[in-house]
Amino acid sequence: MAYKRILVTGGSGLLGTGLKQIVNEFPGREFFFVSSIDCDLTQADQTNSLINAFQPDAIMQYAAKSGGIAYSQKFPATLLRDNILMNLNILDSALKLGVKKVVLSLSVGMYPQKAPIPLKEEYIHDGMPHSNNASYAFAKRLLDPAVRAYRRQYGMNVIGFVPNGIFGENMNYRYDESIMLAALIRRFYEKKDTQDRLEVWGDGTPLREYTYSRDMARASMWCLDHYDEEQFLNIGTNEERSIKEIAEQISSLLEIDQARLYFNTDKPNGIHRRNTDNSRFLSISKFDYTPFKTGLKNTINWFIDHYHSKNGIRL
Alpha-carbon span 115 to 125, nearest angstrom: 10
Of 208, 206, 233, 202, nearest to 220 by C-alpha is 233
* Cβ contact 234:276 at 8 Å: yes
136 is catalytic: yes
Counting DSSP H helices and E strands in the chain, the numbers are 11, 11
Alpha-carbon span 161 to 157, nearest angstrom: 14
Q: Who's near 61: CB < 8 A, 6+ residues apart?
A: 9, 10, 86, 87, 90, 102, 103, 104, 105
* Cβ contact 13:66 at 8 Å: no
Burial 174-186 (b: 16+ CB within 10 A, else e): eeeebbbbbbbbb
Burial 237-250 (b: 16+ CB within 10 A, else e): bbebbebbebbbbb
Alpha-carbon span 280 to 300, nearest angstrom: 32
H or E element, residue 199 = strand 198-201
Catalytic residue among 136, 173, 212, 289, which? 136
Q: Who's near 94: CB < 8 A, 6+ residues apart?
A: 51, 59, 102, 156, 158
- Enumerate the active-site residues: 136
